[in-house]
Amino acid sequence: MPDHPIDLGWMRIFVEVARLGSFSAAATLLGLTQPAVSYQIRRLEEQFGVGLLRRQHRGVALTAEGERLLEVAAKAVADIDALARRFSAEAQRPIVRLRTDYAFSSLWLIPRIDGFRLLHPETDIQIVATQRFAADFRDEADVAVVFGTRAEFGAIGTLLLREKVVPVCTRGFLDRNGPFDDPGQLAKAVLIHLDTPMPSPWFDWRSYLTEFSVIRDINAGRDDISFNTYSLVVQAALSAQGVAIGWMGLVDTLLSARMLVEAGPPLEAKDRGYWLVPPRSASAHSEKLSTWLMNEAGKVG
In tens digits, the chain (301 residues) has pLDDT values of: 455 666 777 888 888 888 888 888 888 888 888 888 888 888 888 888 888 888 887 788 889 998 898 888 888 888 887 787 766 655 666 788 888 988 999 999 998 999 998 988 888 888 888 877 666 666 667 888 999 999 998 998 999 999 999 999 999 999 999 888 889 999 999 999 998 888 888 999 999 999 999 988 878 888 999 998 899 999 999 999 999 999 998 999 899 999 999 999 999 998 999 999 887 777 788 888 999 999 998 865 5
Q: Of 266, 107, 129, whose CA–CA distance to 186 is shortest?
A: 266
> How high is the pLDDT of residue 1?
45
- Alpha-carbon span 259 to 261, nearest angstrom: 7
Q: What is the pLDDT of residue 52?
A: 87
The three-class DSSP label of residue 143 is: strand
Measuring CA to CA, how many Å separate 281 from each of 55, 124, 134, 144, 291?
A: 63, 19, 18, 13, 16
Give residue 134's pLDDT.
Answer: 62
Closest C-alpha to 296, from 145, 156, 194: 145
Q: Is beta strand 225-227 parallel, antiparallel or unpaired with respect to 261-262?
A: unpaired
- In terms of Cα–Cα distance, which of 232, 264, 231 is closest to 164? 264
pLDDT tens for each residue of 132-173: 766 666 666 788 899 999 999 899 899 999 999 999 999 999
- Residue 191 is predicted with a pLDDT of 96
On whether the CB atoms of residues 277 and 145 are closer than 8 A, the answer is: yes
- The residues, ordered by sequence, that sit 6+ positions from 88 with a Cβ below 8 Å of its Cβ are none
Q: Kindly state the helix (H) or strand (E) to which residue 28 belongs, with its residue range.
A: helix 23-30
HSE-CB for 38 with a 13 A CA cutoff: 10
Alpha carbon distance 25, 59 (integer Å): 9
pLDDT at 135: 63
